[in-house]
Chain A
Amino acid sequence: MSLILGSQHLDRIQDTLQKNLIGSGVQNTMLIDMAGNIIVTVDNGQVTRDMYSLAALAAANFGAMCSMARIVGEEEFSLLFHKGQKESIYFSRVNEEFLLVNIFDNEVTLGFLRLKMAQVIQELSRVLD
């Protein structure tokens, strides 16, 4: 079964990501499905990245983490965060089918991002459900 989204839904998702995440200093934010398809991607206009490859790897990485969680007796690891020297990646599950991936530098703190994410996930859930 395919997922089909029209302008109205996609614009709402894009606005939510732009306002809350790019507006708060995140470089790239990307809503993907668990199969690795990109639903919406937004950036700050200053970075160029291969988002298709990133989406494929992010979906696989998140899937692998969920499998690991089940092996150790957890439902899921709710926080998935990779910290680099300059850039970091933060993954958040929106619901069963969607994942939000954020790339940000040292200007943005993880705590601030987590606060923002709670709000964004609520808004995205309203659109996607």
Chain B
Amino acid sequence: MAFINLKDRVIQAKIVYYGPGRCGKTTNLEYIYSRCREQINSEMVTVKTQGDRTLFFDFFPFDIGKIAGYDVKIQLYTVPGQVKYNSTRRLVLKGVDGVVFVADSEAERRNKNVASLMNLQENLALYNKNIFEMPLVIQYNKRDLAKQGIEVLDVETLDRDLNGVLKAPSFEASAVEGDNVVVTLKKIISLTMASLEKELENGDW
């Protein structure tokens, strides 16, 4: 649920990076955090386990400047990808305005991507949100693995598995190398802002 402060002319919206465990959600945020420091007036919050896996979420607020006279602040979150942390994923999704689904290109992880996407759909439904209507970008991460001789799924297969029906904008990426990380972010911000604008025009508030 975005919050629009008419007095100070500030918009806060929430974007969540979702996907299976070890797909690179945290790496996406770490890259953004390291490259866009001027737009982030905050430390990156991470709630991790001892084994350095995300336990609750990673978070920082990202200032994207003025849109139509409003200061827009995007709250970026990741969820924990491990299957056992579903109740935590649900908590983080509360009030979400846009989602980046980070898929793992490694061939071995094919089924985990599909399961995670279905889990996203179920969890959004708990908040009466429809995955088909939600601003959504799909990122095919870890494309760099091919260079190390690790088998990766081709984009057609990933598209068929994950985006055959959704038809969401999608990008090949390597969060470790920073390829298309910012492009993914820009796309989800633009979709989220367009969705908010539409909501305001329709008077859905």
Q: Report which A residues bind B (CB closer than 8 A).
A: 1-7, 10-11, 33-39, 50, 52-53, 56-57, 59-60, 63-64, 67, 97
Contacts and interface: CB of A to CB of B under 8 A. Distances in A.
15 contacts: A1-B1, A1-B204, A2-B1, A2-B200, A3-B2, A5-B4, A37-B3, A37-B12, A38-B3, A38-B12, A52-B42, A53-B42, A53-B59, A60-B91, A63-B91
Contacts of A53: 42-43, 45, 59-61
Nearest to A6: B6
A128 to B, nearest CB: 12
Given A34-B94, A37-B2, 14 more contacts: A2-B196, A4-B6, A5-B5, A5-B6, A7-B7, A10-B7, A35-B95, A36-B75, A36-B95, A37-B1, A37-B3, A50-B42, A60-B92, A63-B94
Interface in B77-132: 77, 87-88, 91-92, 94-96
Contacts of B88: 64
Interface string B3-24: 1111110001010000000000
A37 B7 contact: no
Contacts of A50: 42-43
B4 A2 contact: yes
From DSSP, what is the main secondary structure of chain B's interface residues? mixed
A6 to B, nearest CB: 4
B2 A2 contact: yes
Contacts of B75: 36-37, 52, 56
Contacts of A59: 94
Given A2-B1, A53-B45, A60-B92, A7 B57 contact: no
